[in-house]
A = this chain, B = another copy of it.
Amino acid sequence: RRKGAPEVIFGETKETAQIIAMAHGLLAGTGRAIISRLRTDSLEEVKAAFQGYTVRTRDAARAMVIYGPEFVPNNTGGHVGVISAGTSDIPVAEEAAVIVEEMGCRVTCIYDVGVAGLHRLVTPLRDLFADNVDAIIVAAGMDGALPSVVAGLAPVPVIGLPTSIGYGMGGKGVAALLSMLQTCAPGLSVVNIDNGVGAGITAALIANRVAQARERQSQ
């Protein structure tokens, strides 16, 4: 695919049989199938259908990857940071991390460092900059304040990833998304609520382009 981004099967609104068929298609074509937002009732059936294959999921992530026998992972040299404000934001953050890894980047995760405990953020963020990170994804629900704080500090592009955590007015990620769109901090762009896949692709596209330029240099 010219775009440099893998095809991802959106599991939520599809029949299990349809998902399995599409995964077989991708495996035949590219040696790998990535499925996001797999419903719990599809999970086991899909796993069963691919018993001979290597199947991996990241922790709480709502994403699954199936590798064909000949699949060779590539390593681009790109580096992406994934930060979450709360523990409830982790599944969406992990979805982004899966995509970033499948696009060949290294991922560093820093979780549960929201604005109610900003002191926990300072040191790992400094380390991330020192480790030459190319782009940072910040997942946050509720007030969505963390991406603005990180974008105010980071010398690289930040992708705001609102999560559907929070209740009442502005709940389900709405306040988080709006607050990110209204940010006072420079260099923050956003994707939709819970769109870990979209955040991952954008961050990896950035990191891979930088890595490619670095690569050429070292040749």
Contact = CB atoms under 8 A, between A and B. Distances in A.
Interface in A1-53: 2-5, 10, 12-14, 18
Interface string A123-144: 0000000000010000001111
A84 interface: no
Copies of this chain in the oligomer: 8
A154 B201 CA distance: 13
Contacts of A165: 13
A181 B206 contact: no
A190 interface: yes
A57 interface: no
Contacts of A191: 181, 188-190
Highest count of chain B CB atoms <10 Å: which of A142, A176, A218? A142
A144 to B, nearest CB: 6
A149 interface: yes
A162 B170 CA distance: 14
26 contacts: A2-B155, A3-B153, A5-B187, A14-B87, A14-B88, A86-B184, A115-B148, A115-B149, A116-B185, A141-B182, A142-B184, A143-B179, A145-B179, A145-B184, A162-B168, A164-B168, A169-B181, A177-B181, A181-B192, A183-B198, A186-B198, A187-B201, A187-B205, A189-B189, A189-B202, A190-B190
